Structure formats: structure tokens, C-alpha cells
Amino acid sequence: MDQVKKRNPGEDEFHQAVMEVLESLEPVIERHPEYKKAGILERIVEPERQIMFRVPWLDDKGNVKINRGFRVQFNSAIGPYKGGLRFHPSVYLGIIKFLGFEQVFKNSLPGLPIGGGKGGSDFDPKGKSDNEIMKFCQSFMTELYRHIGPDLDVPAGDIGVGAREIGYLFGQYKRISNSYRAGVLTGKGLNYGGSLARKEATGFGLVYFVREMLSAHNSSLKDKTIVISGAGNVAIYACQKAQEYGAKVIAMSDSKGYIYDKNGIKLDTVKQIKEVERKRINEYINHHPEAEYHEGQKEIWELKCDIALPCATQNDINEESANILINNGVIAIGEGANMPCTNEAIKTFLNNKILLAPAKAANAGGVATSALEMSQNSLRLSWSFEEVNKKLDNIMVNIFKTASDAAAKYGKSENYVAGANIAGFLKIADTMIAQGLV
């Protein structure tokens, strides 16, 4: 950890992600001296390749704009680098490295051949015209294209990158590479190689995982009260599946504040506001005056609920919010976002025996379905929604079992955070040893 801090100064989120994993791995390293001998820990925290580039573009008024682009190709032991692109003003190397590091372990869990990587830009899509988004995406891809490919590195969406952005990115890739390689990006539109159920996959997968975790403790989602942070891709489809299972979702949020609807969120309204109109979540109360809107980012965790699903961004739940949730009787947390709980919040939940579905396992349904999209692209076929959804459900059932078994095997029963980290690590570590010092 000292080495990581020294070599990656100022990258707090990356330090945090590494710390969480290294703490989980203590019993593994004790039991397996071969990992130490092969320098696996030293190698696994060092990205295989880090790319940073200038992204110049012209806004609608003709002003020159310069952003910074990133792609961190973290680990290719088990497959081509795979992971999303994030467009958000907070993006810097430390955020992309934390996400890329987590992606390595996450991508090891579904049993599919995908390595770990992540990319993005400090570009802020908010308030930009469609034309500006397109010009930015084209400029970004004009550099990125030389570093990616269906057998090399396959980006997808993340915060600020959805179907619209993937479309513009794919269009430019196709043009400048002079080839139609659908498998170079995932999360594509259905007309050009996208997979049915990819849009829903992260949120649905999260709820499948939580269902498995509750079921292992003789509980279920039925009639549970749920609070979800975020109102983006992951939050919306987590809400949909939770409602299908008979849970009542009472709140959702965006970066400005949250809506509280004691009768249950009307998801069609949220979809219209967020997916179609791209407006703020406070618009909801214009459609449903009986609901309330409150400003603030952390205040949503003061609502009394049985299950909390943080689906917005990192460090959304700190120790203070964790204690409030526990005092209000929460029984389970499902991490839809990446690293939504601080390490202190995670410890607080675990010490209080709250069931915690960790991001690397619980939100892996998105990238797993991306891998299914890659398979369909290679086959030049497309599977039905039901087929993909069924595969996703099976994958989540298996990930829960894998994390649960690994936790038990290493003396950390019921600690799915440790279980996911350990199971993800073992496959990567064994593969790295098999492939020699590369």
C-alpha cells in the first residue's frame, strides 16, 4: 500500500480501491506463498498500459475547447481489456485507475473471457447540444481508435456515456478504421450489433444478486421499502426489477437532490424525464404533486428503508450515512454504482451484520451482458431478450455462489465484499502465474 501511494500520488480513489482489496486478500496471501513469489500483488496494482490524450473540439459558438481523454488498460490476463467510458467533469487519472482496477476483479467473476480496463474524459455532457456531444465523441475516438479493437480493448458506457454517445463513437470508429467491427464497443443500438437486455442488465443484475443474498437469509424483496440513489441507467432498471418483485421504491435522486414518493416511484415519469427529456429529477413533482423534492446529495440516506441501492457514483454513502441507515433499520445494501460506500461505511455495515452486496459482484451483470454482446457480434447473430435475460440471471446466481463460497473458504463467511475480492483475485492470479512474468 505504501508503494501504491508513493507511485500514484494524489490518486485518493485509486488508493481507496486498492486498500479495500488488499485488506480482503490477507488470508489468501498467507495461504498461498506462490502469489508472493510471483510478485502478483506488485503486478496487479500496476496497469499494463495507461493512455492520456488531448481532445480538441469546437463548441456551437465556434470556441475552441480542450478536454483530456484517458484509457487505462489494466489487466489482460483472461481476455481483451473491457470496461466503460465515463464522461464527467470530476474525471482524472485517479478515478479511471480506481475504476479500471475494480474492473479487473469484477470481470473475473462472471466466468467470461474479459480483462479489465476503463476510460473516459473530464468532458461535461450537461447542457451540451446534441451537435456538441457528437463533435466531442468524434474527436475523442479519433485518438482512441488506435488503442482499441475487438481482440484488444472493448469500451462501453458508464456515467455520462449511454446509447447516444456509443452511437457517435461507433460511427467515427467505423469511418476512420475503414471496417465494420461491431465487437469493438458494447452498449450499441439494436440496429447495429447491440444486445437486447444490455440496457437493463446492470440494474436487473443488481436486483438478481440482492434477491439471491436475501434468499440465502430466508428473506425476499417482496414488500420491502427501497431507496435508490441516482436516476441514470443503473438506477432506473434496478427500480424496474425491484418493483417487479413487489418491492416499493420510495426515492430516487440525481446530483442535485432527491424525490420522495411515499406511494412508490412512478418509473415511467422518471424514464421520460431522464431518458427522453434529459432534465433534472425535480421535474417529477410537476407530474406528481403529492411527491416531495429535497435538495442535497447525502440526505436521501436519512429516509427509513429496508434496502438501500446506491446507483449514482463513488463515496455516496459515508460512515455517517451508514449509521443513519442502520439506526433506521436497514437490512441490506446493494452496490449498483462502483465503490459507492467508503471503506469506513463498508466496515460499519459489516460490523453491524448488515447484508452487503459489493459492487464488483453485484453490478457485474452490465459487463457480463457486454461480453454476451461480444459473443453475438462474433457469431453475427442476436439472441432474444428472454435468452439474454435468462443468461444474465444465471450469471448473477453463480456470482453470488462464487463470492459466498470464497468468503466461507477463507474464514470470512457472509462477508461478500471479501468473497468477491478473493474469488476475483484467485482466477487472475493463477492465470498470471500460468502466463509467466509479462
By the rule CB under 6 A, 94 interacts with ligand NDP:
no
Per CB under 6 A, the list member of 83, 117, 336, 358 interacting with ligand NDP is 336
Report the nearest approach of ligand NDP to the CB of residue 433 (Å): 28
Stretch that binds ligand NDP, among 142-150, 233-241, 405-413, 430-438 (CB under 6 A): 233-241
Residues 333-352 contacting ligand 2IT, CB under 6 A: 338
- Residues in the chain, overall count: 438
Region for residue 62 given its phi and psi (left: phi exceeds 0; alpha: psi -120 to 50; beta: otherwise): left
Task: State yes or no: residue 159 binds ligand NDP (CB under 6 A).
Answer: yes
| Distance between CA atoms of residues 207 and 344, nearest Å | 24
203 is a site residue for ligand 2IT (CB under 6 A): no
The reply on whether position 121 binds ligand NDP by CB under 6 A is no
Closer Cβ to ligand 2IT, 158 or 200, answer by number: 158
83 contributes a contact to ligand NDP by CB under 6 A? no
Considering CB distances under 5 to 8 angstroms, the limit depending on partner class, which of ligand 2IT, ligand NDP, none binds residue 186?
A: ligand 2IT
Among residue numbers 60 through 89, which ones bind ligand 2IT (CB under 6 A)? 82-84
Q: What 3-state class would DSSP assign to 80? A: coil
C-beta atoms surrounding 149 within 10 Å:
16
Asked if 209 and 361 count as a contact pair (C-beta separation under 8 A), the reply is yes
| 121-184-311 Cα angle (round to 5) | 50
Three-state SS at 308: strand
234, interface contact from ligand NDP, ligand 2IT, none, CB < 5-8 Å by kind: ligand NDP
Rounded distance, CA 89 to CA 265, Å? 29
Nearest residue to 421 via CA among 25, 11, 19: 25
CB atoms within 10 A of CB 397: 15
Count the residues of the shown chain that bind ligand 2IT, applying the rule CB under 6 A. 10
Report yes or no: 399 and 359 within 8 Å, Cβ to Cβ: no
Q: At 6, is the secondary structure helix, strand, or coil?
A: helix
Q: Using the rule CB under 6 A, which residue among 20, 158, 306, 373 binds ligand NDP?
A: 158
Q: Which of 97, 118, 274, 412 is catalytic?
A: 118
The yes or no reply on residue 155 touching ligand NDP (CB under 6 A) is: no
Grid coordinates standing for 370? Answer: 457486454
Beta-bridge partner residues of 257: 295
- Kindly indicate which of the ranges 22-30, 132-140, 254-262, 398-406 contains the residues binding ligand NDP, using the contact rule CB under 6 A: 254-262
Q: Which is nearer to ligand NDP, 88 or 135 (CB)?
A: 88
Output helix, strand, coil percentages for the chain, rounded to the nearest 5: 50, 15, 30
Q: How far apart are CA 245 and CA 253, in angstroms?
A: 21
x/- track of binding to ligand NDP for residues 96-115 (CB under 6 A)? --------------------
Is 160 an interacting residue with respect to ligand NDP (CB under 6 A)? yes
Residue 202 within binding range of ligand NDP, rule CB under 6 A: yes
In the region spanning residues 368 to 387, those forming contacts with ligand 2IT, defined by CB under 6 A, are 370
In the window 129-188, what residues touch ligand 2IT (CB under 6 A)?
Answer: 156, 158, 186
Contact 84, 118 (CB under 8 A): yes
Q: How far is CA 2 from the centre of its chain?
A: 27
Told to judge if 118 belongs to the known catalytic residues of this protein, a careful annotator would answer yes
Treating both helix axes as pointing N-terminal to C-terminal, what angle do 364-379 and 385-409 enclose, rounded to 10 degrees? 130
Residue selected from 194, 232, 334, 419 as contacting ligand NDP according to rule CB under 6 A: 232
**Which chain residues interact with ligand NDP by CB under 6 A?**
88, 157-160, 162, 202, 230-235, 254-256, 311-313, 336-338, 363, 366
As annotated, the active-site residues are 118
**Which chain residues interact with ligand 2IT by CB under 6 A?**
82-84, 156, 158, 186, 338, 366-367, 370
